[in-house]
């Protein structure tokens, strides 16, 4: 009998989620397309005035990317709960928090990363100055994992309930507002040529904290959710 | 400027005209080649399917009981 | 299958027959396409004079306009084939509809790119949200939607039926593309070519354009036959004639 | 592994019950399960069989009474990896093939010595369906894909909730055979079922549930 | 044996979907909250400049409401397919198109109507002039059912597939673009004091067409989706 | 209703088969089903029983061969409302109670004369669970809630896919009794099952599936 090491188990978990995402790659593309649509609709809805678009570009891209991420958040554990996979995961002789950390990582890789990749395109569609784009990307690189981690905890908490949607949105709003404010602050500062390091540093600090604590919280929350 | 050079210059619009023609041909050539590639894949998969099918048919119904 | 469909059509609709028929006809169609294409290119790029307003940039017309026509023509063919496929469940019609889509998408893409390459020197911009441009972009999305839907189903025939359905819904976009210049006054040119009446274009420019149009039609036939043959193999995988082809090919 | 009927039972329940909204789901239960034993959990629909199995698996919290594992109070980490649970939900991802599903299970739980995924799928009767997405399998084939875990994963106690449902006669015989091999090798199993279980290796213990 | 009349069946269907929505009323609130969040984030992301906000208010509200509707569209038939309810509906001795029409109506009532109700609030949050709000509401009242109807057809088409998300977005984009253009056109015209009746009339015409044809198309598409 | 074995069979299949990716799922089938008859569909896991039932219900298109309903080619509207189908998916909304689920079914299909939802739920053994959301029922209770449709809705032909699975002995007896009453009243039924069906009203017809 050969028990797998933690590394093997982590790899198995990550591979599983990535394979599943690949099988349903249409759903990966969904947030991306969604973000593209939103960005394309703005010139229609507001009229194609360059200065106006440029003025709002940074904010629109940030809000769009973060909201596109929320789209995919809700489904993070639901299919695993329905088909009984989560039970099997809980029963496995592996640290649950770590396994959930892998799930969150897979989620970030499959939803946030594609969004970050197309963010420059979105920014260009709204004529954001090229010099600001690196700052935008940096802000997104820090804000999106933060959102994934916090989101996972909340999704786990609401997993046992039937009215998850509203609760999720209600609880996420206050949690993601600071992330948006700091990220948008950094982008706006960069656009005006001011120093943008401080808000980025805040984001980074929050991210470090979340990486350590969120998987643990997530595991505890899921055990509660299953116990009914 | 030779006639040929003039022809390639396209009255100063070369950077618009020639890419257009290049794209036209590249896309259509790709469109011509693609089915051939797919055809080979389809036939390969078909052979794999036939192999799998013969496995299913030859499967002796009760699983060989051996502890 | 209704009895009024003539017998030969019914026969031709049988996959192995069509496979052979398309196999013999395809080289001829391709040859004609290449020949006419070469003539049209010579006529358009060398013989035709420069436009007094647009200079040589107008020569993009010889691919832009035939591609644009093909993008709509192929959609219409796809729509008709889709209708037949849905009503009479004829496999060949499904295949023709589904394999038209990638060719149509290719021509639509060419139209969009050549159009914006032409637009930069003429209008000073690559892209505006003009009605014709937008509706042509929508046409591309429709083609992509049909292709995507077809491949999203595990059962190919089911996918073909669903995608055929989408193709029929989307057909309202074709008249919108064509008449958009009349309905909304926009940047894009109105009709300058008129096949039956008098065209607003000089004959030197018109004949290469019409020749190119014919060439693209033949190209479509050739490409379609090529694709349909491949798709029939994929669809009829359970049948003996395909298995024979598969085994023959494995040996050689 | 130990022989059957050693002094310390593998699993012991004392006045075990579970409360939903402060009402007991079933009458208090007392039973022992030794290594090498099979227990049949019997009871009408809604009598709490599934609930009991989920408690034993550690998915639900014990309401009242006590639960002991090898003589010690049962906790999440005392029996980790020793229990294999198969519920009404099969725990298969519909988009993955049986082979991929088993690979994941092996990655999390480990696998028995000298046993491979291909071999297991063959024995369970899924030859030719190894790479089909589970979604496209028939009900019985899905069940077999889930049961393949019994062959692949190492575990001492099997908790099987209606393992016979949806299986054909050959499949039912196969499950019986699996149970025999498992108990003969010193494993134990709790099985719920409404049909007749023709188990050949000794008389199974019966646990009756009363709602 | 008493076969129910069509009216009874319609009522049963509508009641069913409304009851289900009410049981999961948290999910009804989700699009509303989503729209609120987006609108609240804009001032944060762009800075609270009244004139700028006012300039983009009409467009932002329209885009937000329509996108919030898309959120709920994907799930329109999925749960019914999974638990086998759709099979039962198809087998019922009732015109399927009509039953689906009821489902679409229920969907509109539960997702679009709450959004329309809070639209004035959203508009006020972005300082849209009060005089424009009736036009905005009218545009929404016509555009949202159009989106529900078209969306239902597309969702039905993709119901049998596994990669529905992306396809849905891909196909919806071209179909909802005209609705956004006309609706935004009407609002913009009203904001500039120009006549806004023409685009509204176009929307109304499209809606009438869709009401008649979409349920039929939807029924045909669903039959195809089940056939595998 | 007519007596059993009239000249025109209720349902007749001639060389019926179904193609998935151009491969037949089962060998061509020929059978007749008369009013008052019960047919057992037998076959191993994956032999195509569920597929057959879905074809007969009109959910899948006939691949090859013919299907006749009361002597005429079977079409969507020739038998509308006369067929009652119960599949592996039960067709219950988990958020609604059994009572609400049945009300909806009655609203769509109508209900038999003189029969009410409360009475049906009582007979099927769900007394006390009428207003519990289906999600909170046990597997067998869910199955019963779905089977309650048999009592409530008017239909000539029942297509039941493994109706016995997850039921306890009382439940199984109940299904048998329902089948007897139905066939005695001139109805017909096609039932798939792996377990033994102890049907008392005459020898059932057997339809054997070969993959
Ligand atoms: C991305 C940009 C463009 C797109 C998507 C586009 C699309 C189309 C389409 C779809 C047609 C066929 C219309 C029909 O026959 O119904 C067409 C025709 C035509 N286009 Fe464009 N076009 C673009 C840019 C341009 C530009 C920049 C010019 C020239 C200044 C141009 C000149 C023409 C002409 C002359 C025709 C033939 C009109 C006729 O005889 O009907 N196009 N284009
Ligand atoms: N999630 C739940 N929430 C509330 N009550 C539940 C839940 N699951 C089951 N119950 C109730 O608890 C009781 C026991 O259910 P359980 O599923 O354990 O029965 P069971 O013995 O497995 O029945 P079956 O033979 O039908 O599977 C039943 O009365 C059921 O209604
Ligand atoms: N949706 C599907 N797509 C593709 N193949 C399928 C699908 N459903 C079933 N099959 C295949 O068709 C065959 C017949 O399946 P079916 O479900 O009819 O079997 P069954 O007789 O009902 O088996 P069981 O007793 O396990 O329920 C099986 O080999 C199965 O793998
Ligand atoms: Mg149970
Ligand atoms: Mg089955």
Nearest to D139 among F44, F50, F143 (CB): F50
Rounded Cα gap, residues D178 and D183, in angstroms: 9
The residue to mutate among C189, C202, C213, having the most atoms of ligand 1 within 8 angstroms of its beta carbon, is C189
For chain A, how far is it from start to end, CA to CA, in angstroms? Answer: 33
> Which residues does chain A have within 8 Å of residue C149's beta carbon, measured at their own beta carbons?
none
> Which residues does chain E have within 8 Å of residue C152's beta carbon, measured at their own beta carbons?
158, 161-164, 167
Same domain as F103, residue F58: no
Q: What are the pLDDT tens digits along chain E (228 aa)?
A: 567 888 889 999 999 999 998 888 777 777 888 788 778 777 776 667 777 778 778 888 888 888 788 777 877 888 888 888 988 898 888 899 999 999 999 999 999 999 999 999 999 888 888 888 999 999 999 999 999 999 999 889 888 776 566 677 777 777 777 788 788 888 888 888 888 888 899 889 989 999 999 999 999 888 888 876
Of A7 and C12, the one with more pLDDT: A7
Rounded Cα gap, residues F126 and F102, in angstroms: 12
Q: How close is the Cα of E33 to the center of ligand 2, in Å?
A: 35
Report the pLDDT value the prediction gives residue C126, as an integer from 0 to 100: 78
Same domain as D69, residue D13: yes
Residue of chain A nearest C148, judged by CA positions: A26
Report the pLDDT value the prediction gives residue D2, as an integer from 0 to 100: 43
D129: closest CA among D120, D139, D141?
D141
Same domain as D170, residue D111: no
Single residue among F101, F125, F150 that ends a domain in this structure: F150
Q: Between the ranges A63-72, D200-209, F17-26, F112-121, where is the mean pLDDT highest?
A: F112-121
What residues have CB less than 8 Å from F117, skipping those under 6 apart?
F99, F102, F103, F106, F111, F152
**CATH classification of the domain holding D60:** 3.40.50.300
Closest ligand to the CA of F210: 3
**Residue D1 domain-assigned (yes or no):** no
Same domain as F172, residue F73: yes
Q: What are the pLDDT tens digits along chain C (252 aa)?
A: 445 556 666 677 788 999 999 999 999 999 999 999 999 999 988 888 877 777 788 889 999 999 999 999 999 999 999 999 988 888 899 999 999 999 999 999 999 999 999 988 888 877 776 778 888 988 998 998 899 888 888 788 888 999 999 999 889 889 988 887 776 656 677 666 655 555 567 888 889 999 999 999 999 999 999 999 999 998 887 788 888 888 888 777
Tens of pLDDT, residues D71-84 = 888 887 777 788 99
**Residue F179 domain-assigned (yes or no):** yes
DSSP E strand boundaries for chain D: 11-17, 19-20, 23-24, 29-33, 38-42, 64-69, 72-73, 83-86, 157-161, 188-192, 205-208
At residue A18's C-alpha, the angle toward residues A13 and A23, to 5°, is 125
Q: Determine the atom of ligand 2 nearest the C-alpha atom of D43.
A: 21
B19 at the C interface (CB within 8 A)?
yes
> Which residues does chain A have within 8 Å of residue C150's beta carbon, measured at their own beta carbons?
none
Report the pLDDT value the prediction gives residue F205, as an integer from 0 to 100: 83
Q: Who surrounds ion ligand 4 at CB < 5 A?
A: D 50; F 138-139
Same domain as D61, residue D19: yes
What length is written for chain A? Answer: 228
Chain C residues at the A interface, defined by Cβ less than 8 Å, are 128-129, 148, 152
Nearest to F91 among E1, E20, E85 (CB): E85
Q: How close is the Cα of F168 to the center of ligand 5, in Å?
A: 20
Backbone angles phi, psi at D14, to 5 degrees: -125, 115
Lowest mean pLDDT among A143-152, C91-100, C230-239, F47-56: C230-239
Least Cα separation, residue E24 to chain C (angstroms): 30
Q: How close is the Cα of D192 to the center of ligand 4, in Å?
A: 8
User: Token digits for F123?
Assistant: 């007979």
Single residue among F105, F135, F150 that ends a domain in this structure: F150
**The total number of structural domains that make up chain F:** 2
**Residue F2 domain-assigned (yes or no):** no
**Residue F1 domain-assigned (yes or no):** no
Same domain as F159, residue F146: no
Rounded Cα gap, residues F54 and F18, in angstroms: 11
Same domain as D162, residue D146: no
Backbone angles phi, psi at F60, to 5 degrees: -115, 150
**Residue D87 domain-assigned (yes or no):** no
Same domain as F140, residue F58: no
Backbone angles phi, psi at F191, to 5 degrees: -130, 130
Q: Is residue F193 in contact with ligand 3, taking CB distance under 6 Å? A: no
Nearest to A180 among E41, E47, E180 (CB): E41
Q: How close is the Cα of E85 to the center of ligand 2, in Å?
A: 22
The residue to mutate among F90, F94, F137, F167, having the most atoms of ligand 2 within 8 angstroms of its beta carbon, is F137
User: Token digits for E10?
Assistant: 């319609």
Same domain as D163, residue D142: no
Least Cα separation, residue F43 to chain B (angstroms): 12
Single residue among D150, D167, D188 that ends a domain in this structure: D150
D193: left (phi over 0), alpha (psi -120 to 50) or beta: beta
User: Token digits for C86?
Assistant: 């849905």
Tens of pLDDT, residues D19-48 = 888 888 888 889 999 988 899 998 899 899
Q: Which chains touch C (3 or more CB pairs under 8 A)?
A: A, B, E, F
Q: What is the mean pLDDT of residues D50-78?
A: 87
Identify the band that residue A174 occupies on the pLDDT scale cut at 50, 70 and 90: confident
Task: Work out the angle between the directed axes of helices A6-23 and D98-109 (0-180°, nearest 10).
Answer: 160
Nearest to C236 among F20, F22, F24 (CB): F22
H-state helical runs in chain F: 49-56, 98-109, 117-123, 139-152, 169-184
> Which residues does chain F have within 8 Å of residue D192's beta carbon, measured at their own beta carbons?
none
Decide if F85 and E88 are in contact by the 8 Å CB cutoff. Answer: yes
> Which residues does chain A have within 8 Å of residue D89's beta carbon, measured at their own beta carbons?
82-84, 87
Q: Which of residues 223-252 of C touch F (CB under 8 A)?
A: 235-239
Q: How close is the Cα of C115 to the center of ligand 1, in Å?
A: 7
Same domain as F113, residue F49: no
pLDDT of F58 above 90: no
- Number of Cα atoms under 13 Å in the Cβ half of residue F202: 16
**Residue D127 domain-assigned (yes or no):** yes
Closest ligand to the CA of C114: 1
- Which residue range is the domain that position D183 belongs to? 7-82+155-211
Q: Determine the atom of ligand 2 nearest the C-alpha atom of D54.
A: 18
Identify the band that residue D119 occupies on the pLDDT scale cut at 50, 70 and 90: very high
Same domain as F78, residue F166: yes
**Residue D146 domain-assigned (yes or no):** yes
Same domain as D104, residue D75: no
């Amino acid at each position: 009998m050969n028990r797998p090491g933690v590394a093997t188990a982590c790899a198995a978990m990550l591979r599983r989620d990535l394979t599943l995402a690949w099988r349903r790659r249409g759903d990966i593309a969904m947030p991306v397309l969604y973000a593209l649509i939103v960005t394309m609709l703005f010139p229609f809805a507001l009229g194609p005035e360059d200065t106006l678009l440029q003025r709002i570009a940074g904010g629109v891209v940030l809000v769009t990317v973060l909201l596109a991420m929320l789209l995919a958040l809700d489904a993070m554990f639901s299919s695993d709960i329905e088909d009984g996979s989560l039970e099997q995961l809980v029963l496995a002789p592996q640290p649950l928090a770590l396994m959930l950390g892998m799930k969150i990582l897979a989620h970030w890789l499959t939803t946030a990363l594609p969004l970050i990749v197309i963010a420059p395109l979105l920014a260009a569609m709204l004529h954001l100055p090229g010099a600001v784009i690196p700052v935008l990307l940096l802000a997104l690189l820090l804000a999106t994992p933060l959102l994934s981690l916090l989101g996972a905890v909340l999704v786990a908490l609401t997993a046992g309930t039937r009215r998850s949607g509203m609760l999720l949105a209600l609880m996420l709003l206050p949690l993601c507002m600071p992330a948006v404010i700091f990220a948008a602050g950094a982008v706006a500062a960069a656009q005006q040529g001011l120093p943008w390091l401080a808000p980025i540093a805040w984001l980074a600090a929050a991210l470090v904290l979340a990486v350590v604590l969120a998987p643990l919280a997530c595991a505890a929350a899921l055990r509660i959710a299953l116990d009914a | 400027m030779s006639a040929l050079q003039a022809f390639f210059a396209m009255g100063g619009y070369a950077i618009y005209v020639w890419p257009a023609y290049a794209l036209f041909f590249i896309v259509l050539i790709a469109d011509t080649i693609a089915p051939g590639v797919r055809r080979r894949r389809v036939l390969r998969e078909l052979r794999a399917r036939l192999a799998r099918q013969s496995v299913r048919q030859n499967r002796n119904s009760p699983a060989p009981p051996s502890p | 299958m209704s009895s009024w469909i003539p017998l030969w059509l019914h026969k031709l609709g049988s996959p192995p027959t069509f496979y052979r028929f398309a196999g013999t006809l395809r080289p001829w169609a391709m040859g004609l396409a290449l020949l006419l294409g070469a003539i049209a290119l010579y006529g358009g790029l060398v013989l035709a004079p420069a436009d007094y307003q647009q200079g040589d940039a107008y020569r993009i017309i010889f691919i832009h306009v035939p591609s644009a026509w093909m993008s709509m023509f192929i959609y219409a063919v796809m729509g008709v084939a889709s209708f037949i496929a849905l009503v009479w469940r004829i496999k060949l019609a499904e295949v023709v509809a589904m394999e038209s889509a990638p060719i149509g998408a290719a021509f639509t893409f060419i139209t969009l790119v050549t159009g914006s390459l032409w637009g930069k020197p003429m209008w000073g911009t690559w892209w505006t949200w003009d009605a014709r441009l937008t509706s042509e972009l929508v046409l591309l999305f429709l083609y992509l939607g049909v292709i995507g839907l077809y491949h999203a189903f595990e059962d190919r025939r089911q996918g073909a039926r669903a995608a055929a359905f989408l193709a029929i819904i989307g057909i309202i976009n074709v008249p919108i593309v064509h008449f958009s210049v009349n309905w909304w006054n926009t940047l894009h040119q109105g009709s300058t070519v008129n096949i039956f009446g008098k065209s607003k274009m000089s004959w030197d420019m018109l004949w290469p354009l019409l020749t190119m149009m014919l060439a693209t039609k033949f190209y479509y036939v050739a490409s379609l036959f090529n694709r349909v043959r491949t798709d029939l193999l994929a669809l009829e995988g359970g049948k003996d004639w395909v298995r024979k082809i598969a085994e023959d090919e494995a040996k050689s | 592994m130990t022989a059957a009927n050693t002094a310390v039972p593998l699993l012991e329940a004392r006045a075990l019950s579970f409360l939903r909204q402060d009402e007991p789901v079933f009458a208090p239960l007392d039973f022992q399960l030794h290594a090498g034993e099979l227990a049949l959990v019997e009871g009408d629909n809604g009598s709490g069989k599934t609930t009991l199995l989920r408690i034993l698996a550690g998915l639900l919290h014990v309401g009242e009474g006590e639960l002991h594992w090898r003589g010690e109070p049962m906790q999440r980490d005392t029996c980790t990896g020793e229990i294999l649970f198969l519920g009404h939900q099969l725990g298969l991802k519909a988009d993955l093939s049986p082979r991929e599903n088993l690979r994941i299970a092996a990655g999390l739980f480990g696998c028995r010595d000298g046993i491979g995924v291909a071999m297991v799928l063959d024995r369970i009767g899924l030859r030719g369906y190894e790479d089909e997405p589970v979604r496209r399998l028939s009900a019985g084939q899905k069940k077999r894909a889930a049961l393949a875990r019994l062959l692949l994963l190492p575990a001492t106690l099997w908790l099987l909730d209606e393992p016979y449902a949806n299986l054909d006669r050959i499949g039912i015989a196969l499950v019986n055979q699996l149970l025999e091999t498992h108990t003969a090798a010193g494993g134990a199993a709790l099985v719920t079922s409404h049909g007749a279980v023709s188990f050949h290796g000794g008389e199974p213990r019966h646990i009756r549930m009363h709602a």
